[in-house]
Amino acid sequence: MIALRVRRGLILLGLFVVLALMWPAVKAGLASLYYFPAAYAVEQWQKSADKPNAAQLHSAQEQIKTALQWQPQNPHYQLMAAKIAEWAWFSGQLSTELISKNEQIYQQAIAQRPSWPVAYADYGYYLATVQLRLADAWQQLELAEKYGAYLPEVHEKILLVAFSNWSALSVGQKATVFARVGAAMGGPLQGNTIRLIKHYQLERQQCIYLRKKLAARAHWAEVQRQLCPAA
């Protein structure tokens, strides 16, 4: 009888140990169930010409809030919460006072992953577009470039900040952007680079540089056709 009780006790203890070991994985799985719908929503907003409505924003906010309840220190979830807050601010659904809290979120995420280029790029974009602190933003973008110069996310955020503040950039900063644009041509980043140049109506400035830089390159004819037909 005693042996049976001991055996049952050991089985129960073993089950508790297994559950304790599995709990972090369970929490991660539950958090991801809420994170991915929020991330998908943001991806769709980025592709759309329309801003998200109040119901869409609320749904995404609740999803990422729940994900963070399961994994509050996950830097990916922190960044997604910051992005959703920015969409709410851009859509007029969030106050300036509340959006200012994003800076702390970015700093926390970067502290956990100090060599994560996307976090620096997103932080730089926030500083430039929400806080209007271009000098501080540029410092973060330089760190993004240091750790992941030609990641698509980093490349896009650098160009978004640079092109939207073109007249305010220094000569050195413009030279850096010209070089980045030139290096992107002929590769997988060419399409998005051309799209952003056209969006900000910077064809003339960029084509003057690209003609000098790429005239002898095999892909210049295609760049000329898509972006610089008069060059």
pLDDT at 77: 93
> What is the spatial distance between Cα 57 and Cα 42, in angstroms, rounded to a whole number?
9
Distance CA 46, CA 155 (A): 16
> Quick one: average pLDDT of 34-50?
90
Contacting residues for 203 by C-beta, under 8 A, at least 6 apart:
197, 227, 228
Whether 63 has a pLDDT exceeding 60, the answer reads yes
Residue 104: CB atoms within 10 A of its CB come to: 11
pLDDT of residue 32: 82
How long, in residues, is the chain?
231
* In the predicted structure, residue 23 carries a pLDDT above the cut 50: no
Q: Are 77 and 104 in contact (CB under 8 A)?
A: no
pLDDT in tens, 92-111: 999 989 999 999 999 999 99
End-to-end CA distance of the chain: 94
pLDDT exceeds 60 at position 12: no
Residue 160 token pair: 């978004």
Which of 4-8, 23-27, 121-125, 191-195 bottoms out in mean pLDDT, i.e. has the lowest?
A: 23-27
Q: What is the mean pLDDT of residues 62-70?
A: 93
* Amino acid identity for residue 183 in this structure: A
Taking phi over 0 as left and psi of -120 to 50 as alpha, with beta for the rest, 191 belongs to alpha
Per-residue pLDDT, averaged over 185-208, amounts to 96
pLDDT of the residue at 24: 54
Proportion of the chain above pLDDT 70, given as a percent: 87
Average pLDDT over residues 214-230: 91
> Tokens in use for 209?
């540089």
Long-range residue pairs from 212-217, CB within 8 A, at least 24 positions apart, any chain: 213/178, 213/182, 214/182, 214/185, 214/186, 217/185, 217/186
